[in-house]
Amino acid sequence: MMRIFLFLATNVAIMAAISIIFNVLGLGSVLDAQGVDLNLNALLVMSAVIGMTGSVISLAMSKWSAKQAMGVQVITQAQNQTERWLLDTVANQARLAGIGMPEVGIFQAPEANAFATGMNKNSALVAVSTGLLESMNADEVEAVIGHEITHVANGDMVTMALMQGVVNTFVYFFATIIGHVVDRVILQNERGQGMGYYITQIAAQIVLGFLASMLVMWFSRYREFKADAGGAKLAGRDKMINALRALQRGQEAQDLPGHLAAFGINGGGMTRLLMSHPPLQERIAALQNQH
Q: 208-237, pLDDT tens digit by residue? A: 999 999 989 999 999 999 999 999 999 999
d(CA 146, CA 124): 14
Least confident range of 2-11, 44-53, 60-69, 151-160: 2-11
| pLDDT exceeds cutoff 70 at 282 | yes
Antiparallel, parallel or unpaired: β 103-107 and 123-129: parallel
**How far, in whole angstroms, is CA 32 from its chain's centroid?**
38
Question: Annotated active-site positions, please?
Answer: 148
Q: 134-175, pLDDT tens digit by residue? A: 999 999 999 999 999 999 999 998 888 888 888 999 999 999
| Interior angle at CA 220, CA 46 and CA 107, nearest 5 | 105
Cβ(217)–Cβ(276) below 8 Å: yes
Cβ(185)–Cβ(31) below 8 Å: no
Residues with Cβ within 8 Å of 284's Cβ and at least 6 positions away in sequence, in order, are 241, 244, 245
d(CA 200, CA 195): 8
Q: Terminus-to-terminus CA distance in the chain, angstroms?
A: 33
pTM over 0.85: no
Return the pLDDT at 58.
Answer: 86
CA-based nearest residue to 265, from 107, 99, 121, 132: 132
Neighbours of 57 (CB within 10 A): 11
